[in-house]
Amino acid sequence: MWDVIRSPAGLYILHIGYLEEVPQQLWIYLELRHIHLSDLSFALRSLRASIINPRPAIYSTMSGQRFEPKNMLYRNLGNSGLRVPVFSYGGWLTVGYNQKGDLVKDLMQTAFDSGINMFDNAEAYAAGESESQMGRVIKELGWDRSDIIVTTKVFFGTGDKERHNTRGLSRKHIIEGVNKSLKRLVLDYVDIVFAHRPDVTTPMEETVRAFNYLIDKGLTFYWGTSEWSAMQIQQATEIARRLNMVGPVAEQPHYSMLHRERFEAEYEPLWRYENYGSTIWSPLDSGMLTGKYNDGIPQDSRYHHNLGGAMDERIKELESPEGKAKIEKVKKLTKIAERLGGSMTNLALAWTLKHKGVSTCILGATKPEQIKENVKALDIYPKLTPEVMEEIEKILDNKPDSPPSYGRLTTDGQLM
């Protein structure tokens, strides 16, 4: 067996009765990285097990389909080196709910063929079924793993609220939750793991260390946040810096023409000073910005089928005076979209891409033709000149106040 022991004379690795001294440089490195001896012992035992009984790869890297990015635009995910498409495909309220089997395959294949190679999920989506469906399709389609970006999120668990340690951002749930997600996705690793919500009951340092454990073990490359406050994101970032660890690289917030306050005000310093990335969700505001609700609720819409919970609130909003005022704005914006040679959907999606803080925009299409329509926003995007953006701004009339500036210096000494 392998083990690590510390004595007054130094640090030693014990292996089948033999002691081998650990070099002083490695000892210092372990101290600086705050790596516990128990963690090192576990890693050595795992290494020995993998040598004696190597784990077969869950996901083959051999591919029958080569990814073609088409005319997709790519951006760095925040201050990381990861290049992501400006449009990605998500499993919330789509995969694993009413969409299963061949339909999921059609949706993901259409996305892939349209230049979308980033797929978002979460342990909570359809109580884990969304991950299972998406993982099945990835395996069946035989995509090269290096061609795709797969993300998931942990916090809510899969719905069992009575089991306290199957939720939250404790070290236990983060590690166990991600391992369960990987089994459902039939993958050895995901590219990004997001903390689906902040957990005020768990010390932030524990959460930061747990995500770094996942990175060190090769279970993910990056980690991020979702619906965290700017202060919580900054706290996690500073703790990671102090510990010489990897900090979060991106936030997953709600952002659209009709939902701007947090993204453009509270988070603005993150985009400006930290170069924090984002993977925005609901850019079409649950369909309101497509124009489909201009004349009521269509029978083929998710509002008509009403999935309960958040949908109940959205239906009430749609039927309220505020909702009707938003519909009037959409009708006016539709005229601009038509003038530019596109649809309201195209305009709404392209508009989000104009914000420098947006890394990728998550699409939640339930039909293949919706995905094809969504990516046409790339044709509208270059037509959004400052004059057109100003015209849109006058109709929206909801730009949040800019956060106060306390005078920061740029690298060349200029006051910002």
Provide the annotated active-site residues.
125
**Spacing of C-alpha 52 from chain mean position:** 36
Question: Are the C-beta atoms of 78 and 249 separated by less than 8 Å?
Answer: yes
Tokens, residue 335: 């005229």
Q: What's the distance, Cα to Cα, between the start and end of the chain in Å? A: 58
Q: How far is CA 76 from CA 237, 277, 345, in A?
A: 18, 8, 24
| Residue whose C-alpha is closest to residue 131's, from 148, 149, 145, 150 | 150
With tokens 């990381």, the residue in question is 80
Question: Are the C-beta atoms of 108 and 120 separated by less than 8 Å?
Answer: no
Tokens, residue 225: 């946040």
Q: How far is CA 385 from CA 130, 279, 380, 390, 395, in A?
A: 39, 24, 10, 9, 16
Question: Are the C-beta atoms of 229 and 363 separated by less than 8 Å?
Answer: no
The sign one gets for the Cα dihedral 74, 77, 82, 88 is negative
Q: d(Cα 121, Cα 128) in Å, to the nearest integer? A: 9
